[in-house]
Amino acid sequence: MILGNQRSAGLLLHPTSLPGPGLTGDIGPDARYFVDFLANCGFGVWQLLPLNPPHADGSPYQSQSAHAGNPQLISLQRIADWGWLDSGLICEAVSSEARARLMVLSRQSFEQNANADDHASFQEFKQKHAHWLNDYGLYRALRRHFDDLPWWKWPQRLRDRVPGALEEVGGLLQEHVAQCIFEQYVFFRQWHELRDYANSKNVKLFGDMPIFVALDSADVWCEPHLFDLDEKGGARHVAGVPPDYFSSTGQLWGNPCYNWDKMQEESFDWWKKRLATQLELFDFLRVDHFRGFVACWAIPANESTAINGSWAPAPGRALFDELIKTFGHLPLVAEDLGIITPDVEAFRHDYGLPGMKVLQFAFEGGGAKPISSPQSRTKLCCIYGNAR
């Protein structure tokens, strides 16, 4: 990777691919061993996929929250190290159900045995993340209560977030809400420990932020006015890409398009909060489908392919001006693969954002192609290749 004037090498590996006692890897001891491996090999970057909680399909690009962490990545061993779980029980955690039971036991132990500093840390976490945490906990509890139905299929008063209805159901489901909030505290605490450890080994964590969010998410349920929805919560237009050399019918992703006018009226506060959460977790971020900040391929929601979409402009420059006012330097990398138009290239260049180049693309069909060739020596870029 070449970021600014600094050259560094890295690897892409999601924590689910790490070894561990459960069905997938987690962010416990094996994650630290992987950091050690990177450092010993001279790598300075660990790139990951989004860490947000996925739906049943497991895709982190269609998650239930743009802020929350995936509780399946929590290390039960680290909880035992903190004294909130009997380590002898961890070998039983071979399923999601077993993990869930142990997480309940962990919360009960925390409430009874954690010291004053731990309780203070928990309260600080809840206050810092209050703008999304409580709503996310209620969203998760309601999905569980309604057998995982999406939020637009809940009773109308809950779908539309009628205050009295939310207060009533929140009281009934408070145990599940509290458990969800506790698990987010554990996730963030463990992730901060891992990030601190990686940085101590001169390894930076490179995150991934999808430009769009899932329709069935706490984000859309809580602020539907920021998305292109109908009066019942359905998407009017969904995002994708037009037909190209990869697909004759394009790609139909199903994510709701943004209501950019409303977002701009609110000074892009939604994006500022989202980016703040991600920068708390990572040293820098890849923005997936960066060209969507200039224009998005918007497809009527009733279409079965992406053929009949159209380009809908987006106020990317106004957004990034606001983000710079809030954060100063933006440690972002633009995913700018595929057919990118000059206005997208100019946008990326004007804001000094590195792009991406894939070595395999440079030599497909015979002969090097200048736009992706390593000989092009573009300074602001990340260069990707498969290890074989």
Counting DSSP H helices and E strands in the chain, the numbers are: 14, 13
73: nearest Cα among 51, 95, 90, 91? 51
Task: Quote the CA–CA distance of 1 and 383 in Å, as a whole number.
Answer: 6
Residue 213: exposure state from Cβ atoms within 10 A (0-12, 13-18, ≥19): buried
Predicted local confidence at residue 357, as pLDDT: 83
The answer to whether 159 and 84 are in contact (CB under 8 A) is: no
> Which DSSP string corresponds to 218-285?
HHHHH-GGGB-B-TTS-BSEEEEE---SS-TT-EEEEEEPB-HHHHHHTTTHHHHHHHHHHHHH-SEE
- Tell me the pLDDT of the chain (388 aa) as tens digits: 555 567 889 999 999 999 977 788 999 999 999 999 999 999 999 999 999 999 999 999 999 999 999 999 999 999 999 999 998 888 765 688 888 999 999 999 999 999 999 999 999 999 999 999 999 999 999 999 999 999 999 999 999 999 899 999 999 999 999 999 999 999 999 999 999 999 999 999 999 999 999 999 999 999 999 999 999 999 999 999 999 878 899 999 999 999 999 999 999 999 999 999 999 999 999 999 999 999 999 999 999 999 999 999 999 999 999 999 999 999 999 998 877 889 999 999 999 999 888 877 766 655 444 445 555 556 677 888 776 5
Kindly give the interhelix angle for 29-40 and 174-200, rounded to the nearest 10 degrees: 20
Q: Which two tokens stand for residue 125?
A: 């976490």
- What is the per-residue burial (b if ≥16 Cβ within 10 Å, else e) of 45-69? bbbbbbbbbbbeeeebbbbbbbbbb
CA distances from 12 to 17, 78, 137 (A): 11, 24, 30
Question: Residue 156 has what pLDDT?
Answer: 97
- Kindly give, in sequence order, each residue whose CB lies less than 8 Å from that of residue 329, ignoring residues fewer than 6 positions away: none
Integer CA distances (angstroms), 105 to 83, 101, 179, 182, 273, in order: 12, 6, 10, 12, 32
